Structure 1
Amino acid sequence: MGWFGKDNKSFDFDMFSLSHFVVLAIFILMTGVIFLKRKKLSHEKWRKNEVGVAISLILFEITNQVWMYVNGIWKAGRSMPLELCNIGLILCVILLFTRKKLVFELLFFIAILGAPQAIFTPALTYNFPHFRFFHFFYAHMMVVWVTLYFTWAREYYPTFLTAIKMIIFINLLLPVILFVNKRVNGNYWFLRHKPDSPSLFDVLGPYPWYIFTLESLLIVFSLIAWLIFRKREKNYGERSHNH
């Protein structure tokens, strides 16, 4: 039924298929390019590109919401942009428009810990060249690339407080997501039950204890990510420049 069709029989996604491997290769290659070209990317001429990427992400998400509605599969309990990756996308757009350090701090761990997991093990129905395939990977990869761009090129390095702010942010959102789940009979953040398909949740204990296990893992992995990406001072000149 075409690029935007609802019928997915000819678009069934297979994890680690050729199309998935191509996407993973592009993701890894571009991540390396951002790191290697970080000095050139720090130039102010890239400001227009930041705004352009933000607009493209907005257009992709609007198109996705319209597509679900037109095809009759939009449901309040599963289609609102309330999953952590959706929230990461919203924060990514705000960061690109505003360049606010606080927005970067709220986004950093969601992007670094969540989006790559979605890219490597996508919960996706539609394969290349369906619109949903492009939407899924473009959104998730761009969230990671934008975060790394701000880290490596614009030097928005995470601090220990970044991890604390993100954990507070997530826990402030928790009651909101619980309320929405109850009102629309949804399962955002898997706060009502585990995913139906096999997943990491299966080894985290029964409901509701897996939620607390997840929170503990979030804290541990956030601290590990902070140790990896924090600002390293290589010499006295750099140290004096920072102070």
Structure 2
Amino acid sequence: MKENTITTFVLFSLEHLIAITVLFISLLLLYMFRNVLACPFTNILLFERLFAISLLIMEVSYHLILILEGKWSFSESLPLHLCSLSLFCSCFLLWTGSKRLYDFIFFAGMGGALQAVLTPSIIVHFPDFKFIQFFYVHIGIILTAFYLHWVKGYWPTFKGIIQTMLVLNIIFPFIFILNILVQGNYMFLREKPINGSLLDFLGPYPWYIISLEIVAFSIFVLVWLIFRKWKATQNDLT
């Protein structure tokens, strides 16, 4: 007799709440030890590169498992979702220390990863490796954004918001065309995530794409204003 198995991920189930808790505990620990990590005696470069390598290993392992299971496909498995692109950018930033992609990671990457953690578009459960990989890489993107801010002193800029929106709107048409060619749904440009998300509140297809851009831009500006105020407060204290 076969055992019944759950095939649909349940939002805010115990395993989901634990994953969210891990995110916030990780952020708290990162903030608490930011000065230790920024200390000149800390081998911070090694830490950054090891973390970047771990993110890449998790991503590559995910694709290898899909291939071994015979589940890898052009329609679903290409690393073309926003968080996949943000993951590679995060690894590049951690490895090089370059500030060029920081605004993209801070706004688009962190925003997309946070939504993914809160409303995961997955069907697997803990302790499935795909479950662990999903939350590891998305939490990793968020931690990278805050690490570069709290430890390295990078600050988001309004110019970065404009550049991020431009990059996204340059990428979207290519992803949209590719979706048609491979019958995919990368960046959710053909339909909404299966498990529900912010997109459910933004209207039907294709209008939710336009609504999302407006909401994203508004949130980016709000976050930038908060950090701008925070920076001004810190400058006053010093």
Fold match, TM over 0.5?
yes
Deviates most, 194-203 or 132-141 = 194-203
Q: CA shift at 1:196, angstroms?
A: 4.8
Corresponding residue for 1:161?
159
Corresponding residue for 1:43?
39
Q: CA shift at 1:131, angstroms?
A: 0.5
Corresponding residue for 2:212?
214
Corresponding residue for 2:92?
94
Corresponding residue for 1:66?
64
For residues 36 and 209 of structure 1, the distance between their equivalents in structure 2, rounded to whole angstroms, comes to 42
| 1:53-102 deviations in Å (ceiling 9; x for gaps) | 11111111111001111112111111111011111111111111111111
Corresponding residue for 1:194?
192
Aligned residues: 232
2:121–2:193 contact (8 Å) kept in structure 1? no
Corresponding residue for 1:4?
none
For residues 71 and 139 of structure 2, the distance between their equivalents in structure 1, rounded to whole angstroms, comes to 25
Deviates most, 174-183 or 187-196 = 187-196
For residues 47 and 153 of structure 2, the distance between their equivalents in structure 1, rounded to whole angstroms, comes to 17
Q: What does residue range 1-243 of structure 1 map to in structure 2 within 5 Å? A: 9=5, 13-44=9-40, 45-230=43-228, 232-233=231-232, 234-235=234-235, 238=238
For residues 20 and 206 of structure 1, the distance between their equivalents in structure 2, rounded to whole angstroms, comes to 27
For residues 8 and 203 of structure 2, the distance between their equivalents in structure 1, rounded to whole angstroms, comes to 31
Q: CA shift at 1:197, angstroms?
A: 4.9
Q: CA shift at 1:165, angstroms?
A: 1.1
1:78–1:188 contact (8 Å) kept in structure 2? yes
For residues 197 and 15 of structure 2, the distance between their equivalents in structure 1, rounded to whole angstroms, comes to 22
| 1:116-175 deviations in Å (ceiling 9; x for gaps) | 221122122221111111101110111101110001111101011111111111111112
The 3 A distance-change label for structure 1 pair 43 and 64 is same
The 3 A distance-change label for structure 1 pair 10 and 200 is closer
Give the AA of the match of 2:72.
W
Give the AA of the match of 1:73.
K
Unpaired stretches in structure 2, ≥5 consecutive residues: none
1:14–1:127 contact (8 Å) kept in structure 2? no
TM value normalised by structure 1: 0.87
CA RMSD of aligned residues (A): 2.2
Structure 1 counterpart SS, 2:215: helix
The 3 A distance-change label for structure 1 pair 236 and 18 is closer
For residues 198 and 235 of structure 1, the distance between their equivalents in structure 2, rounded to whole angstroms, comes to 41
Unpaired stretches in structure 1, ≥5 consecutive residues: 1-7, 239-243
Give identity over the alignment, percent.
35
For residues 236 and 200 of structure 1, the distance between their equivalents in structure 2, rounded to whole angstroms, comes to 37
Q: CA shift at 1:106, angstroms?
A: 1.6
Deviates most, 124-133 or 201-210 = 201-210
TM value normalised by structure 2: 0.89
The 3 A distance-change label for structure 1 pair 54 and 196 is closer
2:121–2:194 contact (8 Å) kept in structure 1? no
For residues 26 and 196 of structure 2, the distance between their equivalents in structure 1, rounded to whole angstroms, comes to 30
1:158–1:226 contact (8 Å) kept in structure 2? yes
The 3 A distance-change label for structure 1 pair 42 and 86 is same
